[in-house]
Every structure is written in C-alpha cells, then in structure tokens.
Structure 1
Amino acid sequence: MGWLIVILLTLATGAALWKWGKLPRSAFEPVAAALLLGLAGYALQGKPEVPGKPVQPRAEAVQFDEKQAETRAQMGQRFGSGPNWLVAADGAMRAGVPQAAVTYIKSGLKENPRDPDLWVGLGNALIVHNGGMVSPAATYAFQRAADIAPEHPGPPFFMGLALAQSGQFPQARAIWSELLARTPADAPWRADLEERLAQLPS
C-alpha cells in the first residue's frame, strides 16, 4: 500500500508541475530525473510498514513570490543547465511542493557545484520549505554562493530578504546597505533594493 501511495503522489506531483508549474520543454528531463530520484530514495529509506503519525498543519504556508523569482533571474548569470533546474524548482514552488524544489536544485548542484545561482536558489527553497525560517543550511547556501562569486548581487540580496522576513531588521539593513553601495545606477534590481531597504523598520 505504501508503494502505491508514493507512486500516486509522484504522478500527481508531475501532473501538477506540468499543468500549473509553467515548465518549459527543456525542463521536462530534469524534472523527471528528480522525481525518479525521489522514488529511488523512498526505495532505499522508505518504511511503509510504520504507522502514520498525525501532525498539526502550519498555520500559514509561505507562498511563492513571483517578484522574487523575477529579481533572481535579473541577477542570474544564465550559464550551463542551472537555469533549467531553477525553472523546475519555481514550478514546484508554484505547485506548493517546496521539498521537490529543494530536490531539483540539489540535483542541479551535482551537475554544476559552482553555480552561484543554484546555491542562491537552494537557500530560497530551504527557507520556503522551513516556513520562512532562516536555517543554518539556508545560510550556508547563500554563503557558498558568495564564496563562489563575491561580486554576485544575489547572495546578499536574498540573505538580506530572508533576515528581513524573519524580523532581523538591523542585520538585513547592514547587508542591503553594503549591496546598494556597490550596485550600479542602471542595475535593473536597484529600484527594488532601494524600496525594500526604505521599508525596513528603523
């Protein structure tokens, strides 16, 4: 019975991503590979004989932020297969399955371990998966992106965003102020950064 459920869930996830995830054709293979990877993980570690345990649902799920995805794309470097994995992850976010988004990006990092955009995407996906909380894993992902590409605006922008959303306003202000000081006047994300910085409580 456990296998039947997990196969049905896998098919349902794939169908949801195809119908609502807005995936381009180039992302179909990475998505299929990630779903099969999930099945393989269940085959190795799943325990369908263990009885289920009811848990309390989260009061409010973190929603996918289209504007945030657009800003990340503006800051991205667009090389290799990284963008395809990020598109697949965004589709999973829209479908309400952030754990799948984390899986897709981790699969992409196996192919492109030095892609800073994938590390930024992983940090964002981990935060959504954790209900908006900045976990050590998410912090590590942003730091890894910054180590790979020190001038990349993505790591400080999204680390600052995560801190602001979790109420750590002084830390967010410090990170964003430093980023704004080195952001070109014609950068497409500068206005968004200035607006977010101005909205931080004093």
Structure 2
Amino acid sequence: MILLAIILAVTAFVFAGFAVWPAARLRPRWLAPSILAGLAGVAGATYFAGAQPQAPGVPYQQAAAERMATNPEALGQAAQMERLRDILRTDETDAAAWAQLGRMLARSERELEAINAFQRSLRLELNARTLSDLGQTFINLNDGQVTDEARAAFEEAQRMDAALPEPGFFFGLQAFQSGDIDAAETIWLDLIARLDDRDPYKILISEQVFQLLSQPQVNAEAVEAAAASEDFDPRQRIADMVQRLEARVAAGDAGFADHLRLIRVRGMLGDNEGGMDALQAARDRFAEREGAMTILDLLAAALQTDEGQGE
C-alpha cells in the first residue's frame, strides 16, 4: 500500500533526523518517542483499515481467474497443479481435488507431497481408488518395496472395491519380494484370470508378471565368487542353467516360473525355435490355468513377431 509505505518512510526519516540533529541536547526526552508512537499508530490504523493480509494479490487473482477459465487439458502440468491449488484455496473440503493433486504430485515424483494430498482427501472421503494410489506412492517412495503402510492401503482399497486390479498385483509383488515365488505366482495368475479380456490392466499385469517371474534365480554371492575365478565362463553358466530348467520341465517338476525362465533365456540366446518348444511345453502343462494361458498367448504372439522380423 502506497500510503503505508509513505508513513514508514517518514518514520525512518524522523528517526534519522533525531539521531543527527545538532540540537539534540535541547529537545525534550519524550518528543522522539511520542512522534514515533504517533506515526506507528497512524500506520497501524491505515493497515488494518485497508489491508487484507490473507487475500491473494491482484496479479495472483488474475492468474487464478485465467487458469479457472481455461480447459485443464490445455494447461501444462505445473499450471494444472496450480489450478487444483486454486480450487483448494477456495474450498479445502474438496476431496476429489486433493486426490487429483496427489496423483499429479506422484507423477512428478514428489511423493511426500502426494502422500499428504492423498491423506487429506481420505480424511474427507474414503475412496478405493485414492487408497490404491496412496499405496502405490508409498511403494515409489520406498524404491519399489511393498511396505506395511502400502499393504494396509491396498487392503482397505480391496475391501471397498474388490474389482480393483492394483491391490492384487501388489500383494503378489510383496510375496515375490519376500522370496515366496509360489505364493506370488498363485496370486498373480488368479488375478489375471479374474480380469475381463477387455480390461487393459489384464495385458499390462500379464506383461509385468512375465518380466518378474521369468527372472533367473541366482545366488549373487556365488556369481560374484565365480566371476572372480580365472576359469569363469558366462556362456557355460547360462548353458548349465538351461540344462537344469530343461531337466525340471522334462521331469514334470517345473513350476510356471521355471517354464517362463526357460522361454526367456531361449529368447535371450536368439533360439526362437527352442523358445517356441519351451512355450508349447508350458501350454501343455498349464492348459487349465486361465491366467497362465493369457501370459503364454502374449508370449506366443511376441515370438511369432520376432520370427517374422528375422526372416
């Protein structure tokens, strides 16, 4: 405010004048404090009469009005988040706005802010999707590990909406991370079987499950020790792994994950024919498991595409 600035400037000027005035010894001691107190009183009255300490400035109001008048899809990510903050400055009880802000913050890798936004939304209104998003944000914050906090969010989300696919996937991931591959396999295959064929999550989850279950099981310490030896031959180690997997498959002792590992390693070696043979063995073994067949169908399509490109 201009008037307030002028008053403050006069105050500073008067104070400086009293400090350097040659006749300072002649002035009454009460004069300077009285003048300063009077000016301060005028400044305070002026401020409280015309100021609005909690109100946004005019430039902000103009920018907010422009954001609100614009289609959100036409705004950049930062402007979209600021638009949501505009809404929440007006109404802090808008649970949907808090949830959407949380999603945008999570996509921006601002997990702590996202968690706060999700929790504020959930305090206003429990919502299965928001709970699931909160669980995923806890996982992202913890470098991909399914923590107890994340599991609790997923359990509540699943209780509220059993059709949500994400909780089941992350329950399986927690089992996988703990080393219980069989439990993870069961959870994931049952989940894939429950999903509708038109649900895009069915393909996404199937692809992710293949990537996880087909990871070779290796002892990191043993591999490190072997790599340090003079006779270490990585090709021989791969050949030995393939031999062990083929022996399990032939004996009927291989689980679904073993079949996937064999298919994957064949593909990594460029042995498409061997990969197709391993795929057919898996189809014969798990013909009654709908979830397994969904993954195998995707692999068959991928292998056929690779064969076509190689011709």
- Do both share a fold (TM > 0.5)? yes
2:161 aligned residue (141, 149, 174): 149
Q: Deviations over 1:60-85 (max 9, x none)?
A: xxxxxxxxxxxxxxxxxxxx944x43
Change (3 A) 1:182 1:96: closer
Alignment of 1:1-202 (within 5 A): 20-21=77-78, 23=80, 27-29=84-86, 81-82=95-96, 84-113=97-126, 115-161=127-173, 169-199=181-211, 200-201=213-214, 202=257
Q: Can you list the C-alpha shifts for 1:74-106, whole angstroms capped at 9, x where unaligned? A: xxxxxx944x43432232234332111110100
Give the match's secondary structure for 2:103: helix
Residue 21 of structure 1 contacts residue 92 of structure 1 at CA under 8 Å; is this kept in 2? no
Aligned length: 138
Asked whether the 8 Å contact 1:133–1:166 carries over to 2, the reply is no
**Scaled by the length of structure 1, what TM-score is found?**
0.56
Compute the displacement of 1:167 (Å): 6.4
- In structure 2, what is the Cα distance between the partners aligned to 1:132 and 1:21? 25
Inter-partner Cα distance in structure 2 for 1:188 and 1:27 = 28
Q: Check conservation: 1:93, 1:101, Cα contact below 8 A.
A: yes
Q: Which has the higher helix share?
A: 2
Provide closer, same or farther for how the CA distance between residues 171 and 27 of structure 1 changes in structure 2, counting only shifts above 3 A: farther
Equivalent-residue separation in structure 1 for 2:88 and 2:108 (angstroms)? 13
**Secondary structure of residue in 1 paired with 2:80:** coil
5+ unaligned residues in a row in structure 2: which ranges? 1-74, 215-256, 258-311
Which protein shows a greater Rg? Answer: 2
Q: Secondary structure of 1:189's match?
A: helix
Give the Cα–Cα distance (whole angstroms) in 2 for the partners of residues 184 and 148 of structure 1.
19
Higher relative contact order, structure no. (Cα contacts within 8 Å, ≥ 6 residues apart): 1
Query: Which amino acid is the alignment partner of residue 160 of structure 1?
Result: G
State the shift of 1:174 in Å: 2.2
Q: Is the 8 A contact 2:131 2:154 kept in 1?
A: yes
Question: Where does the alignment leave 5 or more consecutive residues of structure 1 unmatched?
Answer: 1-17, 37-79
The alpha-carbon deviation at position 137 of structure 1 amounts to 1.0
Report how far residue 176 of structure 1 moved: 1.6
Question: Cα distance 1:98–1:189, how it changes in 2: closer, same or farther (>3 A)?
Answer: same
* CA deviation after TM superposition for structure 1 residue 25, in Å: 6.7
Q: Deviations along 1:87-139, whole A, 9 cap, x unmatched? A: 322322343321111101001101112x1101101111111122222211111
CA distance in 2, matches of 1:123, 1:21: 24
Letter in 2 for 1:186: R
3-state DSSP class of the match of 1:23? helix
Distance 2:125 2:200 in 1: 26
Matched-pair contact (CA < 8 Å) for 1:21–1:90: no
Q: Please, which moves more after superposition, 157-166 or 93-102?
A: 157-166
* C-alpha distance in structure 2 between counterparts of 1:128 and 1:101, whole Å: 11
CA-CA distance at 1:155 after TM superposition: 1.6
Instruction: List structure 1 segments (4+ residues) > 4 angstroms apart after TM superposition.
Output: 18-22, 29-33, 161-169
Q: How much identity, in percent, do the aligned residues show?
A: 24
